[in-house]
């Protein structure tokens, strides 16, 4: 038993180190995008970063510190739903982002607003995508939406869209309506790049799991991710034996953690993931 436990610890340590390394790169790239392209040209991002950029412009308070201060309550709220690992990596990502923003302050790449919009969106999407793919987040609105969207009777996408509309209306008042329109274009470009990095086109994923440990996996997903699962009956094509299949729909933020749970219980489990455009009814509202 001792010989089998050692490799698992090594793999776990390597995965955490690997995640932190990529998160560091992602946060640095994001900080560069903000300070080199967006901030000097009065273009904002959506979510908490966008709110922080507006407040920083008005008060002249350090942008990196503002992002940390505003995100902190949401990071704490995420502890129960997403776990200690996600919270730690998210806090780490925010700290690295704050340092990167300070380092790249006044490092302006271009005065051309259109170029700043396009390339700022591409670089921003790359950085955020790397962070999301490695089980962390820079935006407390995604965390908040996962926590309260179900109670509000709306999807994560609807909640984030509503908040961003408000943010861009505020940007139009604080900066200019042209800046708000460029900001929306940047957000659109960044979101498409994030989708590419994450290897998916939507925030929700339909997952089918085939495993001899289906009931154990299903109970673990219900307990650790607080999601609803459905068990389906199937027959093995080669063995002819009865099989239990798991079907569920989750957000892209939960996808890496789900795969870790499945691999921990049954490394040989077959997992099929499909993009979901919309979901209706049932317990799942994300």
Cα–Cα distance list, 123 to 30, 104, 120, 167, 258 (Å): 7, 14, 5, 21, 28
Strand partners, 247: 208, 230
Q: What is the phi/psi pair of residue 154, to 5°?
A: -135, 165
In this prediction, residue 86 carries a pLDDT of 86
Q: What is the CATH number of domain 204-276?
A: 3.30.70.120
**pLDDT at residue 31 in the model:** 94
Residue with tokens 């079907």: 247
Model pLDDT, residue 236: 72
Question: CB of 139 within 8 A of CB of 48?
Answer: yes
Mean pLDDT of the chain: 83
Instruction: Read off the pTM.
Output: 0.68
For residue 124, the model assigns a pLDDT of 93
Please write the tens of the pLDDT for every residue from 184-206.
999 889 888 887 787 644 467 88
Q: 5 falls in which pLDDT band (50, 70, 90)?
A: very low
- Phi/psi region, residue 106 (left: phi>0; alpha: psi -120 to 50; beta: rest), is left
Q: Is the pLDDT of residue 140 over 90?
A: no
| Mean pLDDT, residues 126-134 taken together | 89
Domain with CATH 3.30.70.120 in the chain: 204-276
Task: Flag whether pLDDT at 244 surpasses 80.
Answer: yes
Please tell me the predicted confidence (pLDDT) of residue 154. Answer: 63
**Mean pLDDT highest for which of 62-76, 148-162, 183-197, 232-246?**
62-76
CB atoms within 10 A of CB 117: 24
pLDDT of residue 280: 63
C-alpha dist (Å) from residue 236 to 240, 242, 243 = 5, 6, 6
Rounded mean pLDDT, 83-89? 86
Give the separation between CA 137 and CA 38, rounded to whole angstroms. Answer: 20
What would the pLDDT profile of 104-115 be if each residue is shown by its tens digit? Answer: 988 888 889 999
Q: What is the pLDDT of residue 195?
A: 75
Say whether pLDDT at 45 is over 60: yes
- How many C-beta atoms lie closer than 10 Å to residue 265's C-beta? 17
Whether 99 contacts 64, CB under 8 Å: yes
pLDDT band at 246 (very low <50, low <70, confident <90, very high): very high
Q: Which of 70-79, 137-146, 193-202, 272-281 has the lowest mean pLDDT?
A: 193-202
**C-alpha–C-alpha distance, residues 75 and 83, integer Å:** 10
At 1, list the tokens: 């038993």
6 pLDDT exceeds 70?
A: no
């Amino acid at each position: 038993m001792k010989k089998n436990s050692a490799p698992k610890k090594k793999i776990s340590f390597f995965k955490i180190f690997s995640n932190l390394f990529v998160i560091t790169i992602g946060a640095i790239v994001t900080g560069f995008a903000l300070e080199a392209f967006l901030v000097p040209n009065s273009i904002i991002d959506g979510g908490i970063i966008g709110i922080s950029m507006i407040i920083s412009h008005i008060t002249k308070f350090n942008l990196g510190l503002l992002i940390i201060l505003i995100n902190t309550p949401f990071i704490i709220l995420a502890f129960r739903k997403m776990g200690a690992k996600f919270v730690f990596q998210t806090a780490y990502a925010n700290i690295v982002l704050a340092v990167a923003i300070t380092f790249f302050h006044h490092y302006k790449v271009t005065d051309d607003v259109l170029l700043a919009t396009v390339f700022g969106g591409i670089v921003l999407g790359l950085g955020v995508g790397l962070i999301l793919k490695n089980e962390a987040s820079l935006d407390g609105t995604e965390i908040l939406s996962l926590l309260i969207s179900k109670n509000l009777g709306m999807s994560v996408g609807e909640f984030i869209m509503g908040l961003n509309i408000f943010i861009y209306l505020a940007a139009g008042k604080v900066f200019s309506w042209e800046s708000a329109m460029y900001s929306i274009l940047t957000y659109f470009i960044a979101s498409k790049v994030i989708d590419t990095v994450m290897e998916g086109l939507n925030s929700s994923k339909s997952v089918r799991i085939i495993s001899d440990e289906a009931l154990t996996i299903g109970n673990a997903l219900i307990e650790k991710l607080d999601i609803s699962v459905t068990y389906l009956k199937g027959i093995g094509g080669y063995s002819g034996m009865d099989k239990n299949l798991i079907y569920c729909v989750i957000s892209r933020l939960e996808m890496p953690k789900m795969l870790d749970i499945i691999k921990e219980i049954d490394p040989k489990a077959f997992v099929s993931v499909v993009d979901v455009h919309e979901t209706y009814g049932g317990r799942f509202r994300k």
